[in-house]
Chains A and B, each alone.
Chain A
Amino acid sequence: MTARDSILKKLRHRSIAAGETDFCYLRDSYSELTADKPVDRFISLVTAEATTVERLADLAHVPHAVDGYLRGQQIPGRVVIDTSACLSGEAFSDTDLQVSIPPLRPDHDVLLSGCYGAVAESGALVISTSDGHAITNDFLAETHIVILFANRIVATLADLWDALRTDTQGGFMPREFCLVTGPSRTADLGVPAKLGAHGPARVHVLLINGQS
């Protein structure tokens, strides 16, 4: 008997409620205090985790916002622009920024990318491999600037599952999606936690008021 068959046989034998079930599907009914103002809730929670947020009227303001942010942080103005940002290099022509396309390089480690959305309840961005987004870069960058459209912020995790199910229409979930609350951190060198463990040391959200 294979290991699979012998384990499953034993589980069947020992399980309390043997056999199939009508799949215990119960929508998570959690509401918290997020229902009314998910955008405000998201901002207040994500900024508590050392993420910074800047609100912009529309996508056209992104290049100057990136330029201003990097100057403020005294980070060299070299930016890798992921396709998910939906901005071409030309959009940056009236800034002093040097822009390039992925991959990231050791001296070229500021990433500008889009994201799937955000969850107010968790104070978390949602990044995803859907639409061909190279999610791995989001973990490799030293500074991650994320474009988020306000209408993509859902109130609860249950709303996120609904959105993902609607998008995938009964097909497969994106290969990877990840809830990100802020910069990579570790408490293995003592408390308080230190930022920039393996992933970004800085996460800056450009929150666009318009629709995606």
Chain B
Amino acid sequence: MHVDPDFKNLSAKALQDKSLREALDTVATVMPLIRSKALAQLEDFAAARERAREVRDEALNRLDYYLEMFEQNVQAMGGHVHWARDDQEACAIVAQLCEEVDAKLVTKSKSMVTEEIELAAALQKRGLEVVETDLGEYIIQLRGDKPSHILAPALHVTIPQVIDSFNEHHKIERDRPLEDTDQLLAEARAVLREKFLNADVGITGANFLIAETGGVVVVTNEGNADLTASLPDTHIVVTGIEKVVPTLDDAGLMLRLLARSAIGQRLSNYTSFFHGPRRENDASGSGAFHVVLVDNGRSDMLGSELQDMLRCIRCSACINHCPVYTAIGGHAYGSVYPGPMGAVLSPGLADLDSARHLPNASTFCGRCEEVCPVAIPIPKLLRYWRKQEFSRHLRPRAERYGLGLWAWLNRRPVLYQMVQRMAVKLLRSISTSGSDGRWIRNLPGAGAGWTKHRDLIAPAAQSFQAQWRKRTKGDGA
């Protein structure tokens, strides 16, 4: 997986983007409200969450067993299961399957794993026409852009920008110019309907794989996954090896939490269960059914400190509740997986060198863990990456030496207090008096980054320890 290492510049740029900030403000205010309202419908969210954690742990603790069971069941129904160690193997398998049926046009429903392995680009390179069918993802594709949220990929795109893209790419005679969202929807529906009906291969992701039945579960609100899966003669599912759950009952439990956590819905509008290719008495459906199971770094996380992250069901609750994500948006992370979940996943699936800023892009407020429907201890996992970053000497040298010096000083209390007294004197000497105490208005050097935007309160003339000593003496203790 590829991660853009330039988090600092990307996030600084995002903070200046006014329309992005407006869209993110909506996420930050609306999403937590509708989520908590939807979860309140459950008799006992805490119990459901605990059971969901158990179900995911059971699947991960015996991942080989459940994947083989899933594979056997898919094969028994006449489907095929393919295994890919990395992104290149996965893309090659899909390309080969497309070639075998002499495909020209491929429809795709939204899938984060296909984004992760950059499947669309790989297929286009081989001359295939690849059309994204989720409306947000389609808009992103027309604009040559990247998703900025795992559920609402076009969150950052404004309506006038969508109008521009449609005008540029749709070769349609219109009786009046595109103006409102009703027209945009009608046009997208008509254009994409043609693609659905003419596609040779349909590619979907999977929200869950069911070991018990060999089933593939895909949820959408638009219904595009069903048209992608059932209209072409070949359906290819591309998904991660961690998506398996043992039984239908387990899938039901996860579904109960997924849409509520994600978008405040009881259930997504369409929750589809696919089981193999078309059968003798079936009136519709794809003739060939393939599942590509992608590892791409996941097996390295299994059995390690990071295994808890593999429980993730990609609901995006942590993203919607993150004060950092809702300030800078998804593109700043430079990864297809943004926000807290992305900050844990990206260094694992790509490498720590390019993704090292992401685990630091957190205030450790802990909301991500609190809202996670499978109770992933995200702050703990972010801390794991921070430790790795430090021990692999990836932090800036000045910071390393600074921390070393501080640690050295801390182990020498007398010296520490002497230095502290000097620092207090120095800071108070550059502070000015205000109506509410003393404030530092201008710090030199790196400190200017703070005082450019806000004042820093000056330290008290005497330290807590000095005051304490004075007080206990005064009491005669």
Contacts and interface: CB of A to CB of B under 8 A. Distances in A.
Interface stretch (B178-186, B392-400, B464-472): B178-186
A37 B329 CA distance: 44
A45 B247 CA distance: 26
A100 interface: no
A173 B221 contact: no
Contacts of A199: 222-223, 226-227, 270
Interface stretch (A54-62, A63-71, A88-96, A177-185): A177-185
A186 B133 CA distance: 12
Given A8-B68, A191-B26, A198-B189, A137 B284 contact: yes
Contact of A24 (B58, B224, B231, B277): B58
B422 interface: no
A194 B185 contact: yes
A106 to B, nearest CB: 9
B249 A139 contact: no
B230 A172 contact: no
A98 interface: no
B364 interface: no
Interface in A1-49: 2-4, 6-8, 10-21, 23-28, 30-33, 45, 49
Interface string A130-156: 001111110110000000000000001
Contacts of B64: 8, 11-12, 15, 18
A17 B284 contact: no
Interface stretch (A73-81, A121-129, A204-212): A121-129
B224 A197 contact: yes
A97 interface: no
Nearest to B71: A4
B224 A175 contact: no
B273 interface: yes
A188 B135 contact: yes
A183 to B, nearest CB: 8
A186 B136 CA distance: 9
Given A124-B271, A175-B282, A197-B223, A23 B246 contact: yes
Contact of B302 (A14, A20, A136, A194): A14
B230 A135 contact: yes
A30 to B, nearest CB: 7
Given A129-B284, A135-B284, A184-B222, A179 B270 contact: yes
Contacts of B273: 173, 176-178
Contacts of A26: 247, 249-250
A123 B267 contact: yes
A187 B222 CA distance: 9
A157 interface: yes
B193 interface: yes
Contacts of A165: 248
Given A3-B84, A173-B215, A181-B267, A134 B283 contact: yes
A193 interface: yes
Interface string B248-275: 1110110110000001011111111111
A139 B276 contact: no
A174 to B, nearest CB: 7
Interface string B404-419: 0000000000000000
A129 B283 contact: yes
A133 B285 CA distance: 11
Contacts of A30: 43, 48, 252-253, 256
Contacts of B26: 191
A3 B159 contact: no
Given A164-B248, A173-B275, A198 B68 contact: no
Interface string B204-217: 00000000111100
B461 interface: no
8 contacts: A15-B63, A24-B246, A25-B249, A175-B274, A188-B154, A189-B135, A189-B184, A199-B227
Given A129-B284, A189-B181, 18 more contacts: A3-B89, A11-B63, A12-B64, A14-B299, A27-B249, A30-B253, A135-B226, A135-B230, A157-B252, A161-B252, A175-B274, A175-B285, A176-B275, A181-B267, A186-B136, A186-B185, A197-B135, A199-B223
Interface of B: 26, 30, 41-43, 48, 58, 60-65, 67-68, 76-77, 83-85, 89, 133-136, 139, 152-154, 159, 162, 181-182, 184-185, 189, 192-193, 196, 212-215, 221-224, 226-227, 229-231, 241, 246-250, 252-253, 255-256, 263, 265-279, 281-285, 293, 295, 299, 302-304, 307
Interface of A: 2-4, 6-8, 10-21, 23-28, 30-33, 45, 49, 122-124, 129, 132-137, 139-140, 156-158, 160-161, 164-165, 172-191, 193-194, 196-200
